[in-house]
Amino acid sequence: MAKPVCVVVGVGPGNGAAFARKFAAAGLQTALLARNQVYLDELCSSVEGSRPYRCDVRDPNQIIDAFTRIKEDMGPVQALIYNAGAGQFSNVEETSVEAFENAWRVNALGCLVASQQVIPDMVQAGRGNIVVIGATASLKGSAGFAPFASAKASQRSLAQSMARHLGPKKIHVSYVILDGIVDLARTRQAMPDKPDEFFMQPDDIAQAVFYLTEQPGSAWTFELDLRPFAEKW
Amino acid sequence: MAKPVCVVVGVGPGNGAAFARKFAAAGLQTALLARNQVYLDELCSSVEGSRPYRCDVRDPNQIIDAFTRIKEDMGPVQALIYNAGAGQFSNVEETSVEAFENAWRVNALGCLVASQQVIPDMVQAGRGNIVVIGATASLKGSAGFAPFASAKASQRSLAQSMARHLGPKKIHVSYVILDGIVDLARTRQAMPDKPDEFFMQPDDIAQAVFYLTEQPGSAWTFELDLRPFAEKW
Amino acid sequence: MAKPVCVVVGVGPGNGAAFARKFAAAGLQTALLARNQVYLDELCSSVEGSRPYRCDVRDPNQIIDAFTRIKEDMGPVQALIYNAGAGQFSNVEETSVEAFENAWRVNALGCLVASQQVIPDMVQAGRGNIVVIGATASLKGSAGFAPFASAKASQRSLAQSMARHLGPKKIHVSYVILDGIVDLARTRQAMPDKPDEFFMQPDDIAQAVFYLTEQPGSAWTFELDLRPFAEKW
Amino acid sequence: MAKPVCVVVGVGPGNGAAFARKFAAAGLQTALLARNQVYLDELCSSVEGSRPYRCDVRDPNQIIDAFTRIKEDMGPVQALIYNAGAGQFSNVEETSVEAFENAWRVNALGCLVASQQVIPDMVQAGRGNIVVIGATASLKGSAGFAPFASAKASQRSLAQSMARHLGPKKIHVSYVILDGIVDLARTRQAMPDKPDEFFMQPDDIAQAVFYLTEQPGSAWTFELDLRPFAEKW
């Protein structure tokens, strides 16, 4: 029998890659989406049973095309991890229409379109998981985060609406609030003085995401906040 | 001396028209924006000191153009009431990319662009009011409200970000949560059995919006919820 | 005809006194409750139509007794402003059972008991206002605010439950979130370097509280946040 | 080496018993607290390595006494599950001072006192878990839940304050929002027509609680909501 399929949309070198490794280690085939083909190929060579799908999630047609190929290549999707999350950090005076729209396309519209590609098969199977990766900004519109926060709030509302609609169809939609800085080459460089314990470990986040997909139907979580133990919040 | 200028974006026959009448009665000139020129002309003929500006807020260029003309015709804007709020009521499976995008353009992107047209003059004046009209859906992503709720959540987050950034510059941004059905010909027809007290009166909502613009600087409200006394919530 | 009666529970020298002055100026008789008789007498001598009622709100019997006397002296109550709000600022390790209980008695239990004294007459009259004065801590349990925050959260939940139950009976219950430092001799002394605009003015807060009691029934607010324009939040 | 110690405060026949079984199965000794000695003895006879401690959590002295004996009998506590959660369902007009106080004592004061008994040893050990079991009422003050909701809101705020204070000391405090009806003889009898899938399974809830205590320090959850897949929310 074919292994179940997990799609990770937005596989950067931190969380996305960790999600791919975690679900692969748990015995799933993984379809990995990102914009950079070279990076994707490299990542796939290190994750067993994974396949690369180049995709710019700002364009619904590219998403539709990628999921069509995934289904042909690997079969119906059982778990969708929506991890695409770029967005500009700027206040209302500094924000261009383009930056505002891009943040919303990546975080909200892309999430809708990707979800719509997998929902019919999940409804038919009577099972499935959609995990959307959010941030503190999903809950709070800070002064310097106009595009990112409003895009994340839109995404969270969409995920909540999906969870309520799809729960009775046995599709578990959940939302992860990352409240901390992820340990990446980029963040370490930007904050060289912070101790190790300041950073969130991608593998620990991946473990939490995987846990959500394993919850039994009588006790499903919608929203899971995650932060490092020493975080001020 | 010229009367101060209030712009109402999205003047339907209910709240928008009531906002126009209220601010006009308080001695302001009002610039009224809607898509329908016939309706706009009719409304303006009944509101003293008002001018019509035909505008589809889904198109940033139309907003920019309208505000350019408003400034030429009437002077810098002191109060912006962002009341455009259309959005489809549908669940994730029924929602098209177009409907999802339209809801976000009307509620969130339009609010950004309209606000950006008035902020520079308000900053220079060291005063100003931006009131954004939200809904219960701004706070809650219900199953059958995917496009509307996610657009309203995006709008609310943007308003909060603007409030935090602009407060110290003495521009008061506030957000109104309408939690009830507004008394309109359309809603009465759809719910013929409901008693009068079930409905929110546009003039009462307008009074609350006006109150927000009159708050002294030591005690500003960001979020104001409004509902009829008998509402279940 | 007798003037309507407003009771202010917890009339310190800042907000409470301002509430008394505002409602008195609006033509109501005011019954003022505090623990200190000397202070109460002094305040009453400066507020027309006011009467002092010595009361420690931690003791339900004292509340019941005070409201019995108020009704005998002045008639049924039309507006109750619950402003008692003491509470210790300490973390969980520093908090005694007594301090934790005192905070809850002042903020939550006292609010229940005071409300219960006026509800029957308000139900019979088919009108009435109960305004409860909260704080940012009502919404957020910060590390160093264990007793105060948990008492304020309890109070807010009670007010919300009352609002939902009493709304259909035409009694308007509302909750004010004060998000800033009130301008008092005590706070000025503690923060001598802060500019005037850092502080919230009691008269401005009183104006907002009075506004809540004047809202028409088709558009009632439950929760009103107030903060100075320059506040970081 | 001695097995680590887990205390379950409030072990009714549903969740509490499931927590005891789960932590016992994971290799911990369990100390079980309830008011009914007969029930406690029976439960302990079925859970390996467990001991009964009769305790009415409304009385801080009984809590202090029980934890003193637990430490003598079993050693320092590594995990505290605070599951005591009784509270009356009544509106503000029907609520007695006694019922309001009892709900708060069981949910909030008892949680403070029990936590204070284990915090010093946890701080010294540089590790520990406190999981508090909440409910939807922790977030929402419904009309008919005045005592229960305000007590749960108080409890949640306290847990949040503890989480913020104790996180940097490597003590993980988390809060579980149960949003559904637990499968018990009592609830089945009260709702005989509901299908199996309507109910939350105690063992599934216990699994989630245990998961919280196993999270790595770089990705801790504060608040975990749990509901059956078909729940309307």
pLDDT, residue A87, reads 87
- Three-state secondary structure along chain D? CCCCEEEEECCCCCHHHHHHHHHHHCCCEEEEEECCHHHHHHHHHHCCCEEEEECCCCCHHHHHHHHHHHHHHHCCEEEEEECCCCCCCCCCCCCCHHHHHHHHHHHHHHHHHHHHHHHHHHHHHCCEEEEEEEEHHHCCCCHHHHHHHHHHHHHHHHHHHHHHHHHHHCEEEEEEEECCEECCHHHHHHCCCCCHHHEECHHHHHHHHHHHHHCCCCCECCEEEEECCCCCC
Contacts of C149 in chain D (CB under 8 A): 157-158, 160-161
Q: Is the backbone of residue A27 left (phi > 0), alpha (psi -120 to 50) or beta?
A: left
Q: What is the nearest CA distance from D160 to chain A, expressed in angstroms?
A: 10
H/E stretch holding A160 reads helix A146-166
Residue A197's CB is within 10 A of a number of other CB atoms, namely 14
Per-residue DSSP letter, B138: G
Q: What is the mean pLDDT of residues C7-12?
A: 96
- Residue A225 is predicted with a pLDDT of 98
Q: What pLDDT digit, counting tens, does each position of C197-233 carry?
A: 999 999 999 999 999 999 999 999 999 999 999 989 9
CB B172 within 8 A of CB B220: yes
Minimum CA–CA partner of B201 in chain C? C218
Mean per-residue pLDDT of chain C: 97
Q: Which residues contact D98 (CB under 8 A, 6 or more apart)?
A: none
B157 and A152 within 8 Å at the Cβ level: the answer is yes
User: If you compute the radius of gyration of chain A from its CA atoms, what whole number of angstroms results?
Assistant: 17
| D228/A216 CB distance under 8 A | no
Question: Using CB atoms, which residue from A168, A225, A230 is nearest to D167?
Answer: A230
How far is C-alpha B52 from the chain's CA centre? Answer: 16
| pLDDT, tens digit, 9 for 90 and up, residues B168-200 | 999 999 999 999 999 999 999 999 999 999 999
Return the pLDDT at B1.
60
Hey, of D174, D214, D229, D233, which one would you mutate to test binding to chain A, going by the most A CBs within 10 A of its CB? Answer: D229
Whether the predicted pLDDT of C142 surpasses 90:
yes
Q: In this model, does residue D153 exceed pLDDT 70? A: yes
CA distance D42 to chain C (A): 32
What mean pLDDT comes out for the span B153-164?
A: 98
Collapse the DSSP code of D205 into the 3-class scheme (helix H, G, I; strand E, B; otherwise coil) and give the result. Answer: helix
D133 three-class SS: strand
In whole angstroms, give the CA distance from residue A63 to residue A68. Answer: 9
Residue B218 has a pLDDT of 97
ipTM of the complex: 0.97
**D65, burial (CB in 10 Å: exposed 0-12, middle 13-18, buried 19+):** middle
Q: How confident is the model at residue B48 (pLDDT cuts 50, 70, 90)?
A: very high
Q: Average pLDDT for residues C78-107, to the nearest whole number?
A: 96
For A198, name the nearest residue in chain D, comparing CA atoms only: D218
Q: Is B92 near chain A, with CB under 8 Å? A: yes
Can you say how many angstroms the Cα of residue C123 is from the centroid of all Cα atoms in its chain?
A: 21
The amino acid occupying position B151 is A
- Please report which confidence band the pLDDT of residue C49 belongs to, taking 50, 70 and 90 as the band edges: very high
Residues of C in contact with D174 (CB under 8 A): none
B187 part of contact set with chain C, CB < 8 Å: no
Bridge partner residues of A79 (DSSP) = A6, A129
Residue with tokens 């009830």: B180
C-alpha–C-alpha distance, residues D50 and D32, integer Å: 7
Other chains touching C, judged by 3 or more CB pairs under 8 Å:
B, D
Q: Does B83 reach chain A within 8 Å, measured CB to CB? A: no
Specify the DSSP class assigned to residue B136: G
A218/D204 Cβ within 8 A? yes
| Facing A92 at nearest CB: one of B116, B146, B155 | B116
Arithmetic mean of pLDDT over chain D:
97
- Please report which confidence band the pLDDT of residue B87 belongs to, taking 50, 70 and 90 as the band edges: confident
C98 vs chain D: nearest CA distance in angstroms? 10
- Beta-carbon contacts of A102 under 8 Å, excluding residues fewer than 6 positions away, are A58, A86, A87, A88, A147
User: Distances in Å between the alpha carbon of A98 and those of A40, A103, B56?
Assistant: 26, 9, 18
Residue in chain B closest to A113 (alpha carbons) equals B97
Please give the single-letter amino acid code of residue D131.
V
**Inter-residue contact D83 to D133 (CB < 8 Å):** yes
DSSP state of B55: -
* Contacts with D, A 113-132, CB within 8 Å: none
Give the neighbours of chain B: at least 3 Cβ pairs within 8 Å. A, C
Would you state the structure tokens that stand for residue A14, as one six-digit string? Answer: 């931190």
Closest CA–CA distance from residue A146 to any residue of chain B (Å)? 6
Chosen from D165, D171, D223 to mutate, greatest number of chain C CBs within 10 A: D165
Interface check for B165 against chain A (CB to CB < 8 A): the answer is yes
**pLDDT value of residue A1:** 61
Q: Which chain B residue has the Cα nearest residue A147? A: B158
Question: What are the distances in angstroms from CA C151 to CA B71, C99, C174, C227, D132?
Answer: 50, 11, 17, 21, 17
Measured CA to CA in angstroms, residue C126 lies from B182, C171, C193, C212 at distances of 23, 7, 49, 17
**How far is Cα B173 from Cα C212, in angstroms, rounded to an integer?**
19
Q: Are D58 and D102 in contact (CB under 8 A)?
A: yes
- For chain C, give the percent of residues with pLDDT over 90: 97
Q: How far apart are CA C156 and CA C164, in angstroms?
A: 12
- Nearest chain C residue to B222 by CA distance is C225
Residue C223 sits at the chain B interface (C-beta within 8 Å): yes
Which residue type occupies D124? Q
Residue B160: which of A100, A108, A141 has the nearest Cβ? A141
Kindly provide the b/e burial profile for residues B82-106, where b requires at least 16 CB atoms within 10 angstroms of the residue's own CB. bbbbbbbbbbbeebebebbbbbbbb
Q: Quick check: A150 contacting B, CB < 8 Å?
A: yes
Answer whether C229's CB lies under 8 Å from C222's CB: no
Q: Residue A209: its pLDDT value, please? A: 98
Mutate to test the interface with C, among B166, B174, B218, B222 (most CBs of C within 10 A): B218
Q: Helix, strand or coil for residue D61?
A: helix
Residues in chain C: 233
Q: Is D155 on the interface with C (CB under 8 A)?
A: yes
Q: Do B165 and A91 touch (CB under 8 A)?
A: yes
Taking CB atoms and an 8 Å limit, are A92 and B166 in contact across chains?
yes
Residue D229: list chain A partners with CB under 8 A.
Answer: 167-168, 170, 172, 217-218, 220
Cβ-defined contact of D154 to C157 (cutoff 8 Å): yes
DSSP A198: G
Residue (of A216, A66, C189) closest to D226 by Cα position: A216
Per-residue pLDDT of chain A (233 residues; tens, 9 = 90+): 689 999 999 998 999 999 999 999 999 999 999 999 999 999 999 999 999 999 999 999 999 999 999 999 999 999 999 999 988 899 999 999 999 999 999 999 999 999 999 999 999 999 999 999 999 999 999 999 999 999 999 999 999 999 999 999 999 999 999 999 999 999 999 999 999 999 999 999 999 999 999 999 999 999 999 999 998 99
Q: Mapping DSSP to helix (H, G, I), strand (E, B) and coil, where does residue C114 land?
A: helix
- Chain-chain contact of C228 with B219 (C-beta, under 8 angstroms): yes
Q: State residue C219's pLDDT score.
A: 98
Between chains, do B113 and A119 touch, taking CB under 8 Å as contact?
Answer: no
D219 neighbors D167 (Cβ within 8 angstroms): no
Is D194 within 8 Å of chain A by CB?
Answer: no
Check D207 against A217: CB less than 8 A apart: no
Q: Between B and C, how many residue pairs show a Cβ–Cβ distance under 8 A?
A: 94
Compute the nearest-CA separation of C200 from chain D (Å): 25
B172 touching chain C per CB within 8 A: yes
Mean pLDDT computed over every residue of chain B: 97
Whole-model pTM above 0.80?
Answer: yes
Residue of chain C whose Cα is closest to the Cα of B179: C219
